[in-house]
Structure formats: C-alpha cells, structure tokens
Amino acid sequence: MTSADDVDGQGLLVLAATPIGDLADGSPALVRELRRAGMVAAEDTRRLKILAARLGVELSAPVVSYFDGNEASRVDLLLEALADGKRVLVVTDAGMPLVSDPGFRIVNAAVAAGYRVTAVPGPSAVLTALAVSGLPTDRFCFEGFVPRKHGERARRLASLAAEERTMVFFEAPHRLAAFLTDAAEAFGADRPGVVARELTKTYEEVVRAPLGELAQWAVEGVRGEITVVIGGAERGAASLGDAVADVVARVEAGERMKAAVSDVAAASGLAKGMLYDAALAARKQVTS
C-alpha cells in the first residue's frame, strides 16, 4: 500500500485546504505541497501568490487559473499533467476545494482515469461555524448557497422545513437579510439561528438569535464572508397546518400545486391526498 508521498512517477491530484481568514493558519502540509507541486491550479492566481509569500514559499511550479468560469475547460490540461506523472495541486481562495468551490470536475475526471487523489485537510468555514454556533453538531447537513431569486429560494427553504439536522448555509452579505426573512418564514421566526461573519479574521462576529430577530438585525447591512447555521426541526414538529402553509407559500411563489404537495408530503410524512385537500381548501379561502 502506497502513501500520498510515494508518487513513483505516477500522477497525483492533491486537494489542499487554504486559510479562511488569517493566512498564518496555513498548515505545514500546505507549505510542503506548494513546494512539491508540479503544477498548481488556483482559483485566483494573485491570491495564491500572496498566500505563498506569506507562508515563505517560492513557487517553482507553473500556476494556472482554475475557477467556475474555466473549470470545465481546464480538465484536459490537468489530466495531461497527471499523465506526465506530475503532482497537481488544486487550491481555492479559502477553505477546501469542492465545498461550494471549484474542484469536482477534475476530481471526477481523475478518478475515472485511474489517478490517485488525496487531500491536505485544513480550515473549513462550514465546520468552524458549526463548532462555534452552540447548536447540535452530532448530525448536520451542508446546503451551501440557496437560489438567489425569492421564489426559488423560498421553495428550497420550504423543502427543508422538516429537516431535523442542524443546517449550514453560505450567503452573500447583500442577500443575507432576504435569506433570513425567507428562512424565518419557512422554519418559523423562533427557530434558533447563528450568523458567523469573517470567521478567524480580525473582525470576526458570531450573532446568535431566533431567525426572526436575525432577519431584523441584518436589515441594517452586514459585510464580509457569511456562514449561517440554523437549528433543525424538532422531531415530530411538522403539523398539517405547517405543511399546508408550506404548500400555499410554494404555490404562491409559482410552483404547481401537485409538485408542492408531493415535496412537502415527503418531507413531513403526511399523506398526499389529505395534504392536497387541505391545501386546496386553504387556497380557496385565500382567493375568496
């Protein structure tokens, strides 16, 4: 059995986590991989050079850009480097590649082609926010960025209303207030939530409050990198009334009644026929 250190002339794809705040958080393993790489694929080449300088590393390998806009077109280039027996290092601006960042396409292609893939563990906004949130950490799920448009976002959040695990989201600061407002509507204004801002940076801030209060707080404007953690639903908390409200909200947002009922019924465990009839009655009351 060989380790990641034993390339033996075979290509090796290395996914390396980078600091999410303080550049000094870069690990010795990251420093080692930056020095050993035969090619580096970086989300932002300028930020990579700043990081390398901060860590005292002089990059000798060729550096290529690798971001959402060119990720697919870079796969062949990186596979060629692996075929030449090179150690290909993939880094993003912050945190672990693939987690709401580029990386999946080359990993998928490398695995399919039979190349070895390893990772340098390190900082993660998801795990850091979860750890400091004060919410249950025994079971959690990562939902990343939800849709930007109100209707699509509302439907996505409504589909998570009965989720019992702690949920972790990413959100842009200028959309945070809208996200929290929709989350309070979908999960209830009293559902506990946490907004973690600028984690590990100088102006780190962690705000813990019910979603309704967080939505009001965010209206004034929030800056920086944002991670949101929301408590899961209490077991058995989904009621017919809550489910009907979810269906009505999704239909008003543009979703077809049948599809909305199907999704909400699956999430809540309620019978489709009963939920459909109740939601139809509720819709008639709203429109009458």
CA distances, 259 to each of 56, 239, 263 (Å): 55, 19, 6
Q: Cα dihedral sign for 206, 211, 214, 215?
A: positive
Alpha carbons 121 and 27: distance in angstroms, whole number: 9
How big is the chain by its Cα radius of gyration, in Å?
A: 23
For the chain, list residues with pLDDT below 70. 1-9, 236-239, 269-271, 274, 285-288
pLDDT of 2 reads: 40
Q: What is the pLDDT of residues 166-215, one digit of tens each?
A: 999 999 999 999 999 999 988 889 999 999 999 999 999 999 999 999 99
Tokens of 279: 């939601």
Tokens describing residue 113: 């082609």
Q: What is the pLDDT of residues 253-288, one digit of tens each?
A: 999 999 999 988 887 766 677 688 778 877 776 665
pLDDT at residue 85, rounded to an integer: 96
